[in-house]
Amino acid sequence: MPSDEQQAIPSVWTRPRGRREQPALSREQIVSEAVRLLDAEGIDALSMRKLGTRLGAGATSLYRHVANKDELIELVVDEVYGELDEPGAAQSSHWRKTTTLRAHSLRDMILKHPWIASVLGDVGVAHLGPNLMRLSDRMIETFETAGFPLRESDHAVRTVFAYVTGMATSEAAWLTMLARSGQSEREWVERLWPAAEQAAQAYPRLRKGYADQRGKDPRATRDENFVYGLERILDGLEVRLTDVGDAAG
């Protein structure tokens, strides 16, 4: 029969944290430096050996706090979730406004740390991280307070999360590619435009769409696309909230 240790899901959030820590180095220091390394050099540059060098410590010292690289990635993902702005009392008077502010904050976080796009689907049980759990609980509370049942509030939060992370991780991948090219977003789009217009000649709706976008700031276009999709999701949730209220009445 498998032991408890074999049955446990491998994750930094399921492994008991040791009581003793090396005084010269803490888990918090390791995670903060890992985020700086990822922001500067990307996910491919992350290794325990390289991180140890940046911290002036051997990789063995890091393993006293983090069992492996997978655990480290779980920790850095939760760390950046802790950067999200939480709406204040004056901003949180309506569920839709509060959700909009949180959605934009989540998108901004992903675009600030574009490496996260490559790890979100491969990050173990990230939902057990304290920062993400706190955010999820507050978002569920917002929908429940608005009138959604608890279970449906959870579904609503998952829907908003899925939209924001899907859109923002695509943007982050695009911006990472741009960074490697050494070109600005506008420069890259302008260079591509003649070929895109030529390819669209046989497709009248795409051709008109490209013509309408010519000369526009690509960042502004990305912002517009994000807002449009978010607003339509919130429109649907607002209709559903009305249905829930009618059924309760």
- Here the CATH number for the domain that contains residue 224 is 1.10.357.10
The number of folded domains in the chain is 2
pLDDT value at residue 6: 56
pLDDT value at residue 76: 93
* Cβ–Cβ under 8 Å, residues 218 and 171: no
- Here the CATH number for the domain that contains residue 52 is 1.10.10.60
In angstroms, the CA 21 to CA 63 distance is 11
pLDDT value at residue 68: 87
197 part of a folded domain: no
Please list, in sequence order, all residues whose beta carbon lies within 8 angstroms of the beta carbon of residue 158, skipping any fewer than 6 positions away.
none
Point out the domain boundary residue: 81, 105, 134. 81
List, run by run, the mean pLDDT of 10-residue segments along the chain (249 residues). Answer: 58 69 76 95 90 87 87 92 81 86 96 87 73 93 94 96 94 88 91 91 92 90 97 97 80
Task: From residue 51, give the alpha-carbon distance in Å to each of 40, 54, 64, 70, 73.
Answer: 12, 5, 14, 14, 12
In angstroms, the CA 178 to CA 176 distance is 5
- Does residue 72 share a domain with residue 106? no
- Does residue 155 share a domain with residue 103? yes
- Does residue 240 share a domain with residue 178? yes
- Does residue 36 share a domain with residue 121? no
- Does residue 70 share a domain with residue 101? no
Token pair 């890091």 in the structure block, residue: 62
212 part of a folded domain: no
pLDDT value at residue 23: 53
- Does residue 177 share a domain with residue 114? yes
pLDDT value at residue 93: 75
Point out the domain boundary residue: 49, 81, 113. 81
200 part of a folded domain: no
Indicate the length of the chain as a whole number.
249
Per the structure, the complete domain to which residue 64 belongs is given by: 4-81
188 part of a folded domain: no
Amino acid at 66: V
